[in-house]
Amino acid sequence: LTVDAQTGDPDSTLELYRTALRLRRVQPGLGAGDAVEWLDAPDGVLVFRRPGGLVCTVNTTGTPVRLPTPGRLLLASDRLEATADGFTLPADTTAWWEE
């Protein structure tokens, strides 16, 4: 896919990376550092917190997973579905949150 084809498409890989790079400049939790606090999560799901109020949720399974919402959504690699008690993280998806 060309840059021209992906520019402005919110579902494109190019726009995902552009948004991530913009967020990295303003979110301290996306910068360098070794501090990671692992949080409880279902099998096949990784959830961690970084200093600066950043939480990352990663679904490594082949099925959607329901999780509590850890804060304000900053970016996700796929569309999330809101639920009454949180959100559904699709299969093979990562989402970054601001607490």
What is the C-alpha separation between 50 and 38, in angstroms, rounded? 9
What is the C-alpha separation between 15 and 77, in angstroms, rounded? 10
pLDDT of the chain along its 99 residues, tens only? 677 776 777 776 777 768 777 887 778 777 777 789 999 999 999 999 998 889 999 999 999 999 999 999 999 999 999 999 999 999 999 999 999
Q: Which domains does the chain have, with CATH numbers?
A: 3-98 (2.60.40.1180)
pTM here is: 0.82
**56's tokens:** 């990352």
- Look at the chain and count its residues: 99
What contacts 67, CB < 8 A, 6 or more positions away? Answer: 41, 42, 45, 47, 57, 86, 87, 88, 89
